[in-house]
Structures are given as C-alpha cells and as structure tokens.
Amino acid sequence: MKNNLLIKAIIFYLFGLNLASAQVTDSCTFIQKDSIITVEMESTNLNGGFWVVQNDLPGHTGSGYIRYIGGDATGVAGKSQLTYTFRVKEAGRHSFKMRAFRENYHDNDVWVRFPHGGVITKIGNDSTGTMGSNWFKAMIGARNEWYGFVKTQHLGTSWGETFHDIYVDFPEPGVYTVQFSGRASMFRIDRFMLYYQKSSFFGMNPENAESPKENCEPYNTIGRVYLSNPLLDYTIRSGETWTYTIPENTFGGGTSIGYSSFLGNMFQLPSWLSFDQKTHTFTANPAYENGGKYTILVKAEDNGTYAVDAFTLNILGNRPPEHASAISDTAAYTGQSFTYDLSPYFSDADGNTLSYSVRSGSGTIPTWLSLEGSTLSGVPTNADLGNDTIYLTVSDDFGGSLVESFIITVKYAVVESLFKNNSRKLYMYPNPVDHILNIRTEGNGKGSMALIDNMGKIIFKTDNVDLGNDIVLDLESVNIKPGIYTLKIKANNSASEYNGLVVKK
C-alpha cells in the first residue's frame, strides 16, 4: 500500500478518530453537585484492562466513550476492573443511570459493583431486593442508539428474567467507589450518573456537564507496561496489500515487551490478516467480500503487567457494478451503421472505472460487431439477418462483476411509406433484387399484397399473405421484368397499409 504514513496522517487530521486510547490518566474524585454525580467513563486510567477509549460513534458526550474488548465474561465478574471514586454530599438513596450503546443482541451489558454495599433493586413500586456489595449486571435494551436508562436482572431468583431499576443507598456523606468489570464484549459505555432521589432531577441528560474533580493522583507507571501513544485508525481498499508496523513508542514501561494481537472480541485474526510478533508488523490482503470495520486489539506484556490498545481497520470492500437502468434489446439494419453505448445502463457505487466484454451464445460476438470501450458498433450484412443473444460482462478493477444479456436483431433495411403518413414500416431484402424478395411488416393477421408498375397497373396480386411472418416473393415465377414497382400490402383486419418501392434488376 502506498505511503501508509500519509494515509495515517490524513485520517487523523480529517476525522480525529483516535479509536483506542488507554493512555496514562490521573485518577480523580468526582464531587456531587446539585444532587447529581456525572462521570465520563474515559475519565479514569484504563491501563491493565481490556478497555479502550473510542470516539468514532457520533452522539457521545465528553471526549469519547469506553469499549470492552476483552471477550465475553458472562459467568466471571471482576475481569478488567475499572474503579471510579466520587464524593457524596447527600446521604440517602440515589438512582443509578448509565448511558450506553449496543449494536447486536449480545453486546448489551457490563458488571457493576458498589463495594460499600447498599445496592437496591426495585420491582414495580412497592417491592425491593437487596444486591448489597455483590456484582450485578447493568444492561440496556435499545439497539443502535445511545440509551440512558439501565436495568438489571436477578437470574436464578424468584424474580426470574424481570428487569429492575437500580438504586444505591449511601448511609452518610463521604467518598465512595463504583467498579465496572467487562461482561459483554464490544459493549460501549459513555457515562454514568447518580442522583439523589429527593431531588427534582430525573433521567440521563447528555447535556449535563461532568462533575467537578478533586484529589487527582497520577497513575503509577513504575514497573508497569502502559500505553504511551495510541494507535491510529486505518482505511484500506480490498484487493490491495497493506502493511503496518507498531511504532516503538506506542507502549512504555517495559524492558522486553512482547506483543500479541486479536480481534476486538478476543477472536483470532481473520485469515487475510496476520501479525508478526517479532517485527510487530501487520500484513493484510483482504478480498472485496471482506469489507467492513474491524477492531484490532494489540496487547503488550512485560514483567507480569500488560497494557492493551486497539485500532479500527476499515476495509473498503469492493461493491460490484450494478444496474443504473434496465438494458433493452435493440435492432440493427442491413447496410446501416449501428452503435450501442452500454455505459448508461451500469454504475459503480465505489466510483471504480468499469470495463466491458461481450460474447454471443456461440462464444464469440458476430463478425460484423466490434466493442471499443463501452460502445458496440458495426454494419451488418445480408448474411447477418436474425437474432443474436449478446452476453455482457461488466467488471471493475477489484474483482466485482455483473453479467447481463440482451438481443440484437438484424433486420432488413427500412423503406418508409411513400404514400401515407403513418407509423407503419415495411422491411424488404434485398432491394434492388434479382430473384427472391424477402418482405416483413410490423403487422399481423392476413392481408393482400400487390405489385404496381409506374403506369398504375397491377401486375401481380395475392389476397392470402400472412403479415405476422416473413413473406417470400419469387419475382421470376410471376414474370416481373426489370424496373421500379410499388409494393402495396394491406391488412384485412385493420386499416393498416404498407407501401414501398421495389427495384427489380
């Protein structure tokens, strides 16, 4: 891939998508103000856990949101713990809210715990259940939107699968903590709130500012691996080879850091993406069907400690050509130039240049027909009369293609009516003619046909011709001498009349 550094700089400058950022962050105590505690989830240090900060999903508050990428932990609470410290000024019951986002069925919850105890869940308006200091799962129901109302479930109890609101009792003013632990992989959390139940406030207002901070302490990096410079996101095109080496200054704090990489849900990397642990280099060869966004996790380990980071690899999966409009059958006429531009019938959503190739049922296109770019052209001869099914392949440069077919019908040259201003047409071949005259009309049913000389005399007539099929007239058998004649055909079942000049050699 050309100039990876330039692409990296452009993506960062235009979009600012610093997907994963578990950089060293001060740990602070958040102070309750106006009965509310509001904490942005990215306002803590994520080192030592499988959490990353992202900001590529619109609608978040603060500088971003956090996402758990450590794999599902539905049965094991306490994995990748995050701790937030806050000061309560109003003793008593508080409502717990969490603003989060889910995409799929399973990425919908996180483990939560208040170590001091006091967690109460509510059923309806009158019954309560106590969770105390135990881990409980906090979950949301809505999909594909930031949702600010969180519930919990008491599985294995008499409440079964019922959803419950979450409340926390604080016996006195003071400093408390709340802990979050990864549960559903890829779950996103924007912020959490605690508000005093006796206040007039209700709900999760994303416009509320984060609570004031105090007692901020720096993260202790001594003897620990930590993230120093977050990885940037990349966008690459399918069908091309891409390589990327993790910069040496991405992680700090170690003397002999080992690297590994997985997908964001701890699955193995796809077959088209490899990671060399010795050179710290990714190599990707995605096919166009691999298009999409992939969260790539990088784990650095040393001295029994680790730090993780992740970046989004956006594969511009090639979309094959598609119809801009329905292609139609067409006609060519003997002795006349024929052109047919194929490009208006097809488009490419990726803006790729399209190429065209054609064949007929026999494998090659008719000898009178040629293709240059997107245009078919040629001059059919008398030997080319009839129908040819043309099979067309429209391709882009990245493996996408579309196959279509249409019919080109080669017809006799057209002689418009000389005597009546109507839309009916008469086809005759050959003309001038030596012996056999082939005739076709656009009518149907039975009718009559006559040849008239230049004196107005009918020199040949028949009352039983089939207008729906080709008519063959043997001029020699009816003793037509060289000269110019008027051919007149009239339908029995309508007022349609076809007239044309015939030149007998």
3-state secondary structure 10-79: HHHHHHCCCCCCCECCCEEEEECECCEEEEECCCCCCCCCCEEEECCCCCCCCCCEEEECCCCCCCCCCC
DSSP state of 384: G
What's the pLDDT tens digit per position in 342-369?
A: 999 999 988 889 999 999 877 788 899 9
Residue 230 has pLDDT above 90, yes or no: no
Q: State the Cα–Cα distance between residues 208 and 61, nearest whole angstrom.
A: 9
DSSP state of 383: G
Residue 295 has pLDDT above 80, yes or no: yes
Task: Say what the pLDDT of residue 469 is.
Answer: 83
Pairwise pLDDT comparison (363 vs 435), residue with the higher score: 435
Q: Per-residue pLDDT averaged across 155-178, rounded?
A: 77
What's the pLDDT tens digit per position in 100-154?
A: 998 887 788 999 999 998 887 764 444 455 677 888 888 887 788 888 777 786 5
What's the pLDDT tens digit per position in 52-66?
A: 888 888 999 998 999
Nearest to 65 by CA among 93, 33, 41: 41
**Three-class SS of residue 382?**
helix
Query: How does 184-203 read in b/e, with b if 16+ C-beta sit within 10 Å?
Result: bbbbbbbbbbbbbeeeeeee
Structure tokens that stand for 292 in this block: 């999409």
CB atoms closer than 10 angstroms to residue 287: 14
Structure tokens that stand for 59 in this block: 């609608």
Structure tokens that stand for 165 in this block: 């609101």
CB atoms closer than 10 angstroms to residue 464: 9
Residue 431 has pLDDT above 50, yes or no: yes
DSSP state of 401: E
Q: Output the average pLDDT for the chain.
A: 83
**Three-class SS of residue 228?**
coil
Q: What is the pTM of this model?
A: 0.59
Residue 245 has pLDDT above 50, yes or no: yes
C-alpha distances out from residue 60 to 17, 112, 184, Å: 13, 21, 20
Percent of the chain with pLDDT over 90: 38
Residue 416 has pLDDT above 60, yes or no: no
234-237 and 305-316 strand pairing:
parallel
Task: Say what the pLDDT of residue 203 is.
Answer: 56
Query: How does 104-126 read in b/e, with b if 16+ C-beta sit within 10 Å?
Result: eeebbbbbbbbebebbbbeeeee
Task: Say what the pLDDT of residue 130 is.
Answer: 67
**Three-class SS of residue 179?**
strand
Strand runs labelled E in 133-247: 136-139, 152-153, 163-170, 174-181, 188-196, 213-217, 226-227, 234-237, 242-245
Q: Per-residue pLDDT averaged across 431-439, rounded?
A: 86
Residue 472 forms beta bridges with which residues?
A: 438
Task: Say what the pLDDT of residue 172 is.
Answer: 95
**Domains of the chain and CATH, by start:** 25-217 (2.60.120.260), 226-316 (2.60.40.10), 322-411 (2.60.40.10), 414-504 (2.60.40.3080)
Q: Per-residue pLDDT averaged across 164-189, rounded?
A: 92
Question: Do 195 and 95 contact (CB within 8 A), yes or no?
Answer: yes
Strand arrangement, sheet containing 338-341: 338-341, 375-378, 369-372
Candidate from 43-52, 308-317, 325-334, 461-470 with smallest mean pLDDT = 43-52
